[in-house]
Amino acid sequence: MEGPRLFGLLLGSAEPVVFRFSMDESGLRDTIAYRIVRQILDHVYPDQKMTNPEFISIFRTFSDVGGSWEDLIVGSPKSYEMLMDVLKAFVKVKNTIR
C-alpha cells in the first residue's frame, strides 16, 4: 500500500490543531507528527530507537526542507517523499555515528 494512503487509514481524521506541536518534549508523543514518524520507523527501520530530542530534530528538519504535516495527512506524495528522505538521511547519520 502506498505511503499517503496508508497514513489516511492509520490516522483517520485529525483536526488541524493537532499539528501545532511545541518544540519541547512535553506532550510530544501525543502529536500526529510523532505518530507518523514512529509508524514509519517501526515499519521501515524497525531496529531504530529514537529519543525525544531526535524526534524533535526530525520534525524541525522536515519543516526546514519545506515539508508540511497538513499536506502529508491529506496524502501529498511530495511531502511523503520529503519525510522519507529526511528519515533515511537521519538513520544513515545515526548509524554512522555509532
pLDDT in tens, 12-50: 444 333 344 445 555 666 678 888 899 999 999 888 888
Q: Which three cell numbers stand for residue 95?
A: 548509524
Alpha helices in 1-98 (DSSP H): 3-11, 32-44, 52-64, 69-73, 77-97
Q: Does the pLDDT of residue 87 top 80, yes or no?
A: yes
Q: Whole-prediction pTM value?
A: 0.69
| Percent of the residues in the chain that have a pLDDT greater than 70, as a whole number | 68
Nearest 5°: phi and psi at 14?
A: -125, 140
Mean pLDDT of 66-73: 89
Show the domain range for 58.
3-97
> DSSP assignment, residue 66?
T
Angstrom distance (rounded) from CA 15 to CA 92: 33
Task: Please report where in the chains the cell 506532550 appears, as a residue.
Answer: 27
Q: Domain count for the chain, please give it.
A: 1
Provide the pLDDT confidence category of residue 51 given band limits of 50, 70 and 90: confident
